[in-house]
A and B are shown apart, each in its own frame.
Chain A
């Protein structure tokens, strides 16, 4: 209730706060712009924006707005400059053209609201691929520094190696949900890891719940991008198996009913067998249609 009340008050207050008005100005044309900004103008000729507006005499002002006031006074504050003015004025002329499915959720998204505007990632006058300031993943890692470190952990998706891209999971302009991912955690992961989609007859509940309960997709020290290695991860929800605490026989042995099965046991042998890697036996941990062996276990041990 406190939060709701706070927002209502902020909302009412915000409506009555007056904003700044953009200065009155008219368009003057590219020729006048290039008279002063000759260096940018020359570089801009190979830029995709310049090429797509061949024949248009107001290419500069299509993004910077009318420039007569700026041209007359020479004052840089009298023209729209995206890196400086984007958040201050609330204008974003980029979205006049860049719209469609890829941009439906752009307004109001975390990147839109947190960054300084499009120019944080895009150098609008450049010739670079997608006009990016830096190519990804380095561009993304510039802000998401923890992900840069995680991408170098022993277990990680091959992003640093260039085999997959941040954009494969994070369509940064159109992410509808948290973290700009294309879909909820489960569905996003299943779009590549389809063998785990199910629905399975015998389920492992956290698989239905959220892949993030067991995995961190940006990288971990543990195997398979698990939050912790086995058995510790499994033991954070399940009790240890019975028989774990049994003392192991020290010496050579063979299975009395299967003489070909033999080996050397140690005092800690039962612990080592039952407390090293749960998925050696519970191999179908993401789900299975096949029942496990024990009737009293109701067939749901995910062993086959």
Chain B
């Protein structure tokens, strides 16, 4: 609780919560039942033989640390109040306070924190110079060097989360409930930022960056439940802002890395050179969403649920936004006590602003130069998504149950063409399975699923190059070919998304008595894609598991489990040869 903002949020949550919790306070006249516990202990964390990994949470403060937890649970007639707090180390603290009075009033305030380990990339692989001969004894022009400003730093940041949630049924109207909730996530610490300084030689510089990211979400809504019809509305506003100071780096004057010549030639190909520019800036964003739901009983045998959501996400810094509209319908039909049918359908439309990218003229004033590289960034997020599915469940007796389901998903991207598919991905799904449960001591389940995807998401023509000079035209007024023209020669597409996915799941449970249970599982899947015009992709996954559980008394539970996961992705890559 170091920052004023964090303190303010905490105080605000408690201030909002106090009136609620005071209403929940127990009276002196009614008998109260309560249980509380205080646990005092400690733990030791050592990092010997342990490699910290980038992006992981912290295993704990190194050394011996006292640990405390406190819990309280009390109720009086139809009121209840629960508290749980845990101190693990200074960066890992949590508590929650919940209260409920009848079915009318309820409140929750909670806080939790942990430390996210970012560690340090020492960049030591970034040191190399090209050789101009196979003997590797003659240095060439291309090279990599790096500079680390904080090689001993141990980067990371603490994540604090404060949540509150209050619900009240309006007095005199048990059919109307008002809901208000809030959530704040604060991330504070230091992180590593690396910036590349092209183009005299590839020189990477690592800098320390302050992390001060703040996300606040406020939600409010109502529920109306007048009987066979249920209506709800929730509105939510989320904002994100990074308060970290901007980072700046000096980008070298573009020049030939060895002889220092061609300054004008290389400089005319760069957006900026020989100047200080900012980097690593995270834009301020906001998101507003509205969700309405309606649920109704249709006769005694069926139920229908509809929902509609509108949202608007905005990049405040850049002034661009994404709008989304979506609706869904779910229909459940129970023609008799043995059968159930569930149908789902949804349609959504997302539109993300296009942005015009204004770039300096390429090789301005040079022979054959002055090419215009301005372009419009259309977003692949702009799309229409339609989904539909139906599931049939039949249970002839308590012992057996079978199900069959099928579904469709279609995604039409307006501005991301995948050749021959016009940016459209369609997916068909099928699954079937069953359950056998002769008595409460044994159960077995089986499931098979299959997904077929037509034109899964794939980067567009990224791979391989045709023989160049017979296809490419030189630029107007020029006789040379340039690196960027090679993009036009690429023709292959590649992806890690399967077109066919098969999977099976098998589960057996045996409970000879109420103290002992055994289970065995097998899950396996195979995803393949042989539809690309270049390289096949395959992903295999196999996961057997056995476990045993022994609970001799209500307070003791001994559990052991052995799980093995085998996963293999087989995707070939294209190797750049002959200097690319």
- Confirm or deny: B38 has a beta carbon within 8 angstroms of a beta carbon on chain A: no
Q: Are B571 and A236 interface neighbours, CB within 8 A? A: yes
Q: Name the CB-closest residue of A to B348.
A: A184
Tell me, rounded to whole Å, the shortest Cβ–Cβ distance linking A84 to chain B.
Answer: 6
Tell me, rounded to whole Å, the shortest Cβ–Cβ distance linking A195 to chain B.
Answer: 5
Tell me, rounded to whole Å, the shortest Cβ–Cβ distance linking B47 to chain A.
Answer: 15
| Known interface pairs A242-B483, A283-B194; A255-B133 also in contact (CB < 8 Å) | no
Q: Which among B1-9, B268-276, B466-474 touches the partner chain?
A: B268-276
Q: What mask results when residues 56 to 68 of chain B are scored 1 for a CB within 8 Å of chain A, else 0?
A: 1100000000000
Q: Are B204 and A281 interface neighbours, CB within 8 A? A: yes
- CB-contact partner of A100 in B121, B145, B225, B280, under 8 A: B225
Tell me, rounded to whole Å, the shortest Cβ–Cβ distance linking A79 to chain B.
Answer: 15
Give Cα distance in the complex from A99 to B102, angstroms: 15
Give Cα distance in the complex from A46 to B31, angstroms: 13
- Confirm or deny: B448 has a beta carbon within 8 angstroms of a beta carbon on chain A: no
Q: Which among A27-35, A58-66, A67-75, A220-228 touches the partner chain?
A: A220-228
Q: Are A237 and B462 interface neighbours, CB within 8 A? A: yes
Give Cα distance in the complex from A14 to B296, angstroms: 22
- CB-contact partner of B398 in A84, A198, A237, A300, under 8 A: A84
Tell me, rounded to whole Å, the shortest Cβ–Cβ distance linking B410 to chain A.
Answer: 14
- CB-contact partner of A295 in B269, B464, B564, under 8 A: B269
- Confirm or deny: B16 has a beta carbon within 8 angstroms of a beta carbon on chain A: no
Place the interface of chain A in its size category.
35 or more
Q: Name the CB-closest residue of B to A247.
A: B131
Q: Name the CB-closest residue of B to A48.
A: B80
Report B514-530 residues with CB < 8 Å from chain A CB. Answer: 519, 521, 523
Tell me, rounded to whole Å, the shortest Cβ–Cβ distance linking B220 to chain A.
Answer: 12
Give Cα distance in the complex from A20 to B215, angstroms: 53
| Known interface pairs A209-B457, A238-B462, A303-B196; A10-B404 also in contact (CB < 8 Å) | yes
- Confirm or deny: A185 has a beta carbon within 8 angstroms of a beta carbon on chain B: no
Tell me, rounded to whole Å, the shortest Cβ–Cβ distance linking A246 to chain B.
Answer: 5
Q: Are A210 and B521 interface neighbours, CB within 8 A? A: no
Q: Are B285 and A90 interface neighbours, CB within 8 A? A: no
- CB-contact partner of B391 in A113, A197, A242, A292, under 8 A: A113
Chain B residues with CB under 8 A of A258: 145, 200-201, 203, 252
Give Cα distance in the complex from A6 to B405, angstroms: 11
Chain A residues with CB under 8 A of B136: 247-250, 267
Q: Are A52 and B78 interface neighbours, CB within 8 A? A: yes
Question: What is the interface of chain A mostly: helix, strand, loop, or mixed?
Answer: loop
Q: Are B375 and A227 interface neighbours, CB within 8 A? A: no
- Confirm or deny: B577 has a beta carbon within 8 angstroms of a beta carbon on chain A: yes
Give Cα distance in the complex from A191 to B80, angstroms: 31
Q: Are A194 and B337 interface neighbours, CB within 8 A? A: no
Q: Are B277 and A304 interface neighbours, CB within 8 A? A: yes
Give Cα distance in the complex from A192 to B391, angstroms: 32
Chain B residues with CB under 8 A of A238: 459, 462, 494
- CB-contact partner of B313 in A7, A11, A17, A197, under 8 A: A197
Give Cα distance in the complex from A176 to B234, angstroms: 15
Chain A residues with CB under 8 A of B123: 280
Q: Are A298 and B200 interface neighbours, CB within 8 A? A: no
| Known interface pairs A88-B397, A146-B523, A304-B279; A273-B127 also in contact (CB < 8 Å) | yes
- Confirm or deny: A169 has a beta carbon within 8 angstroms of a beta carbon on chain B: no
Q: Are A255 and B459 interface neighbours, CB within 8 A? A: no
Q: What mask results when residues 250 to 280 of chain A are scored 1 for a CB within 8 Å of chain B, else 0?
A: 1101011110011111110110110011001
- Confirm or deny: B150 has a beta carbon within 8 angstroms of a beta carbon on chain A: no
- CB-contact partner of B77 in A51, A208, A292, under 8 A: A51
Chain B residues with CB under 8 A of A291: 271, 357, 359
Q: Name the CB-closest residue of A to B211.
A: A195
Q: Are B125 and A19 interface neighbours, CB within 8 A? A: no
- Confirm or deny: B288 has a beta carbon within 8 angstroms of a beta carbon on chain A: no
List 30 A-B pairs, Cβ < 8 Å.
Answer: A17-B336, A99-B230, A101-B293, A104-B293, A108-B332, A146-B521, A163-B57, A163-B112, A176-B307, A192-B215, A194-B185, A223-B54, A233-B496, A237-B495, A239-B462, A239-B574, A242-B579, A245-B577, A249-B137, A253-B129, A257-B255, A263-B145, A280-B123, A281-B196, A289-B281, A289-B283, A292-B271, A293-B272, A295-B270, A296-B482
